[in-house]
Amino acid sequence: MLLLTLGTAAGGGVPQWNCACPGCTGARAHPDRRRSHDSLAVLGQDPSSWFLVNAGPDITDHLEAHPRLRPGAGEERTPVIRVLLTDAELDHTLGLLRLREARNVEIYATAPVRRALRERLALDTVLTPYTTLTWRNLPPPGQSPAVIAGIEVCAVPLSTKRPRYAADAPEDDSWVTAARLHDPGRGGTALYAPALAGWTAEFGKEAAAADCVFIDGTFWDDQEPRRLGISTRTATAMGHLPIDGPAGTAEHLAPLSARCLYTHLNNTNPLVDPLAPHHGVLAGRGLEVAQDGMVIEL
């Protein structure tokens, strides 16, 4: 199983168009610091068969940037696009609109995410004049997994956080999930969790059993949103467990044997600056920051 980190930024990307914080200013001055919306491409044993985990607004740029994801010689276009969604947030789903040129878009999602996209965002109404949408269930662990491109996938429930456009929708712990990806042929397992509101026992069990964990790196510490004036809420209150601190994700990840990488970095996170000393803190714990375009083989 090959994992391509197409993007590693939180909503808005780095730089964010309406922001002049140090992270955004630095990315404008140093193009190598730019980060696009977080997304992952997963390739199974057949290199011509792949799928996406989340589809942000820059998803077609991601596809064009990687030769493995382009149509093959003699093919006019990619006939089927498969997308696994970890939530219904706009920065993970707006790219579905940009995939309308495909003949068929298969969307794997939990029940509340499917309902939000079909009823609140009316994706069926908007996209069916252009393409065929096929909706598929993303089961939790313990049920028969979905199989995409030869990879067994399931959704690890994380939180009831709903996107703002569906704030009045019923609560469900599968609004936000982690994608568990298992290659039955080679035995490798990855866990992709770009949004993590709290460290649950179930998530900890899945992380301990994985070979590679991509995890929410939105904020460095809990007070970051307040301190920088982007919100009146803490990181945790916004649905993102911070990296640092006594209850931060770094403390949970450091003892694991898995390769652990942070993704979904907000533009305010000091980790968007490669010279920030925070990188050394993570390295001392055996943890990494994912970069756009990384390739990991399991």
Model pLDDT for residues 214-243, shown as the tens digit of each residue: 999 999 999 999 998 899 999 999 999 999
Q: What is the mean pLDDT of residues 62-84?
A: 85
pLDDT digits (tens, 9 = 90+) for 117-147: 999 999 999 999 999 999 999 999 999 999 9
Q: Which helix (H) or strand (E) holds 263?
A: strand 259-263
- The answer to whether residues 191 and 210 touch, using CB atoms and an 8 Å cutoff, is yes
Specify whether the CB–CB gap between 194 and 214 falls below 8 A.
Answer: yes
- Domain total for the chain? 1
Q: Tokens 């510490």 sit at which residue?
A: 221
pLDDT above 70 for 47 = no
CATH of the domain at 116: 3.60.15.10
Q: Range with the lowest mean pLDDT among 54-63, 77-86, 100-109?
A: 77-86
pLDDT in tens, 80-105: 899 999 999 999 999 999 999 999 99
Range of the domain at 194: 2-297
> How far is residue 289's CA from residue 50's CA, in Å, rounded to a whole number?
24
Confidence band (pLDDT; 50, 70, 90) for 44?
confident
| Closest residue by Cα to residue 40 from 3, 12, 13, 9 | 3
pLDDT at 267: 97
**Is this model's pTM higher than 0.85 or not?**
yes
